[in-house]
Amino acid sequence: MSDQASLLIIERAEREILQLAPADIGAVYKFMHKFRNNPEQPGLNLKMLHGDSRLMSARVKRDLRALLLHVGEREYLLIGVDHRGSVYDDLSKYAYQINRITGGIEIVDLDAIDLQPVGDSIVGRALRPGDKPLFADFTDAQLVTLGVSEPLLPRIRQLVGEDDLMTLLDRAPQLTVDVLFALFDGRSYEEVLEQITQPVRAGETVDVEDFEAAVRRPVSQVATDDEALKFMLAESFSSWQVFLHPTQRRLVERRYSGPARVGGGPGTGKTIVALHRVVHLAQQLPAGTDKPILLTTFNRNLAADLRTRLSTLGGDAVLNRVEVINVDRLAARVVAELDPGAPKRKLDDGQVPQLWRKFLTTEVGETPWDADFLASEWEQVILGQALATRTAYFRARRPYRGRNLTRIERDQVWELSERFVRWLAAQDSWTWRQVAVRAAALETTKAEAGSRRFRHVVVDEAQDLSAAHWRMLRAMAPSAPDDMFLTGDTHQRIYDHQVTLGSLGINIRGRSSRLTLSYRTTRQILATAMQIMSGETYDDLDGGQEDLAGYRSLLRGDSPILCGASTWSEERELIAAQLAEWSMPLDGSVAVCVPTKELANDVAATLESEGIDSVEIGPDGPKRPDGVHVGTMHRFKGLEYQRIIIAGVSDGLVPRQVINRYRDADPRRFKREQQRDRSLLFVAATRARDDLAIFWHGTPSPFLPGNRQ
Ligand SMILES: Nc1ncnc2c1ncn2[C@@H]1O[C@H](COP(=O)(O)OP(=O)(O)OP(=O)(O)O)[C@@H](O)[C@H]1O
């Protein structure tokens, strides 16, 4: 036993291993297992390299060598694997250090970033006359304070253009890349310090000589044991399942004294963080067969997707301890269990104005208010704030409503609402919002009696949940450390639920963080998406404001195509032509997104007439994985495509013509509806990974860059 050693693996090496041939990956796994049992066994041929006190090599198989860093008495870190000869002949090309900000160990292969080692100093490509180095405005001390890797400074001083910067991307340590790209994007030193460096700073003072302490920091390594490694080597493994960014990892593993919230722009890995968080929580549970963790989200298809991904990430051991369900179904389940006499038929909330119209015509006759006003008062104020009594309604704030109501008027509205509810119930019907309100009340009573369903609640797409949903969820888990973990982005709110969590008993103050690095979209697509959002303000789910400061991407691609046609029929020709231009891929990697169901039907018909297999995106997601997917903007939430065409982005469709009636009558509502349509376009635009085309007919949408009203 005394021969045993600890062998950790640094993220950089893990990436290198994943690029090897499958047989070599297997050999690395066997090597690590053997090494841990006894690093000195002769077959491994462990030796110190060229007199460096820490760098060592060992034999993986005949032509494969491992590069190791000796960090403590019997502690090693695997920092690279490559073919004999190509890697370890000249060790001066490796620089290793403990980053003084993160406290993590960083290894830099200076050769790989086009450096010529000359003794101890490094000389990069000579600057040409007229070249302005990219980071000339920042001193070395500033860059180091931001967390840039010191051995790379001389090379960084030689960078003159974005292409140069891109060569660093795969080679430099993560924090260096993050900092340099943010500075390159024009962020100030102070912004980068606050948004990028601060979130990954080690909690304690970093001793840059103490490798034993450094290797224990999560930022240094990812896989620690055979199980983790086996997991990593499993087939069809996407990188997000292994390589959490240190900022993401920290949010996943932290112990929170109460509810916590992670925000961030589209594609920054909020869902990934939520999934890892669930696995982390599941791993801390005492053994059992119950399900003390809830993982929920707004849409049905997203809940199904979360379940599949959770199963890939944590296997049955995790899945068996987690309830994965969309929030409305959860509410329906609560009601079915605790109030079996409740109406059975659940109506879509979109039908509410129509239902009020029918109710007023058939049951009431003349009223001082029209159906639209009453429908939204009932939905926004009465159900929106889950008001259970007339007195609560008298006292309620109506912050987003245009017109004031006197006490007498409120009395009348309450009366009508009660009649409306009875009228629906007589048809054995109610709406999903009503179900949520009822579930919140039932669950609160259950909690008061001391009975709780869950120990941990994790919510993705938190921006779309209503006050009643939050009340229900709050009542489901007792207030305790790590009780609630929410991820979401209010810029992507596409349902009309605006809440202040603090007022619903969910206090996230001091436990709110934001992710800023997008893994999905190119810088070019992000720039267009950000232009769509400019000029609006967004909330932080808790009465404050949130912005997308620091939001960025390291991916590059072509600029989005923006193109108008004179008629809808011409625009459909544009769509077909664009698909042809993209070589008509029918493998489900391309989608067409439109504002309305009618346009979606038209597009499907056009594609079919061109012999292109079109597949509808329904409420449960695309009906088939292949073909060209076609759906309305609402359906694109949470999806991801290589290429997307957003069509019908014309004035009158985006934003919808109908909201114009609020422009003067109810300016606050107008603004809210407009913001919702803007968010829809933003969500659609940020689903594209590589290419985006935006089309319109007639007058382009005022949300498009260059068309502001
Ligand atoms: N650390 C990571 N390494 C590699 N890929 C990652 C990482 N984190 C996230 N991704 C990838 O980035 C993409 C976006 O992640 P995810 O869906 O979690 O983002 P999100 O913030 O929830 O997005 P949205 O708000 O748009 O729904 C996914 O393809 C995911 O696999």
Helix-, strand-, coil-residue percentages of the chain, each rounded to 5: 45, 20, 35
Tell me whether residue 103 is annotated as binding: no
Asked if the 560-697 domain carries CATH number 3.40.50.300, the reply is: yes
Confirm or reject: Cβ of 272 under 6 Å from ligand 1: yes
Identity of the amino acid at 289: T
Residues 696 and 567: their CA atoms lie apart, in Å, by 9
Q: If you average pLDDT over residues 396-425, what whole number do you get? A: 87
Q: Calculate how far, in angstroms, residue 271's C-alpha sits from the geometric centre of ligand 1.
A: 7
Confirm or reject: Cβ of 248 under 6 Å from ligand 1: yes
Confirm or reject: Cβ of 237 under 6 Å from ligand 1: no
Intrachain domains 244-333+451-520 and 560-697 with the same fold: yes
pLDDT tens readout for residues 21-79: 777 877 887 888 889 889 988 889 888 766 567 888 899 988 888 888 898 888 888 88
Specify the residue with its C-alpha closest to ligand 1, atom 8: 269
- How far is CA 198 from its chain centroid? 20
pLDDT-derived band at 327 (thresholds 50, 70, 90) equals very high
Contact 628, 586 (CB under 8 A): yes
What is the pLDDT at residue 301? 86
Nearest one of 76, 74, 57, 55 to 66, comparing CA atoms = 57
Nearest atom of ligand 1 to the alpha carbon of 683:
26
Confirm or reject: Cβ of 268 under 6 Å from ligand 1: yes
Task: Say whether 266 sits in a helix, a strand or coil.
Answer: coil
Tell me whether residue 264 is annotated as binding: yes
Residues 524 and 534: their CA atoms lie apart, in Å, by 16
Q: Calculate how far, in angstroms, residue 268's C-alpha sits from the geometric centre of ligand 1.
A: 5
pLDDT-derived band at 117 (thresholds 50, 70, 90) equals very low
Specify the residue with its C-alpha closest to ligand 1, atom 25: 266
Specify the residue with its C-alpha closest to ligand 1, atom 16: 269
Confirm or reject: Cβ of 239 under 6 Å from ligand 1: yes
Please give the structure tokens belonging to residue 269.
């890995």
Which residue is associated with the tokens 């544009």?
574
Taking the model in full, what pTM does it have?
0.79
Tell me whether residue 698 is annotated as binding: no
Please give the structure tokens belonging to residue 318.
């995790």
Residues 67 and 55: their CA atoms lie apart, in Å, by 7
Rounded to 5 degrees, what are φ and ψ at 254?
-65, 150
Contact 521, 267 (CB under 8 A): yes
Residues 152 and 472: their CA atoms lie apart, in Å, by 52
Confirm or reject: Cβ of 489 under 6 Å from ligand 1: yes
Confirm or reject: Cβ of 195 under 6 Å from ligand 1: no
Domains in the chain: boundaries: 105-200, 244-333+451-520, 345-427, 560-697
Choose the residue to mutate in 12, 170, 222, 240 for probing ligand 1, maximizing ligand atoms within 8 Å of C-beta: 240
Q: What's the alpha-carbon Rg for the chain, to the nearest Å?
A: 28
Identity of the amino acid at 18: L
Which residue is associated with the tokens 């039932």?
442
Q: What does pLDDT average to over the chain? A: 86
What is the pLDDT at residue 242? 62
Bridge partners of 82? Answer: 65
Task: Say whether 180 sits in a helix, a strand or coil.
Answer: helix
Q: Calculate how far, in angstroms, residue 269's C-alpha sits from the geometric centre of ligand 1.
A: 3
Kind of pairing between the strands at 688-697 and 587-594: unpaired
Bridge partners of 569? Answer: none
Specify the residue with its C-alpha closest to ligand 1, atom 15: 269
Please give the structure tokens belonging to residue 511.
């436990």
Dihedral angle of Cα 283, 289, 295, 299, to the nearest 10 degrees: 150
Q: What percent of the chain has pLDDT over 70?
A: 89
Choose the residue to mutate in 170, 261, 271 for probing ligand 1, maximizing ligand atoms within 8 Å of C-beta: 271
Tell me whether residue 671 is annotated as binding: no
What is the pLDDT at residue 45? 87
Confirm or reject: Cβ of 516 under 6 Å from ligand 1: no
What is the pLDDT at residue 355? 96
Which of 75-79, 226-230, 411-415, 467-471 has the least mean pLDDT? Answer: 226-230
pLDDT tens readout for residues 72-106: 888 888 888 877 665 555 566 677 889 999 998 88
Residues 565 and 700: their CA atoms lie apart, in Å, by 9
Contact 138, 129 (CB under 8 A): no
Continuous H helices in 245-299: 246-253, 270-284
Confirm or reject: Cβ of 520 under 6 Å from ligand 1: yes
**CATH of region 244-333+451-520:** 3.40.50.300
Identity of the amino acid at 71: V
pLDDT-derived band at 708 (thresholds 50, 70, 90) equals low
Nearest atom of ligand 1 to the alpha carbon of 460:
22
Identity of the amino acid at 150: E
Residues 568 and 581: their CA atoms lie apart, in Å, by 20
Task: Please write down the long-range contacts of 55-62, taking CB distance under 8 Å and 24 or more positions apart.
Answer: 55/91, 55/94, 55/96, 57/88, 58/31, 59/31, 60/24, 60/27, 60/28, 60/31, 61/24, 61/27, 61/31
Confirm or reject: Cβ of 52 under 6 Å from ligand 1: no
Tell me whether residue 312 is annotated as binding: no
Please give the structure tokens belonging to residue 593.
């997104």
Confirm or reject: Cβ of 265 under 6 Å from ligand 1: no
Specify the residue with its C-alpha closest to ligand 1, atom 14: 267
Task: Say whether 589 sits in a helix, a strand or coil.
Answer: strand
What is the pLDDT at residue 235? 46
Contact 685, 634 (CB under 8 A): no
Tell me whether residue 266 is annotated as binding: yes
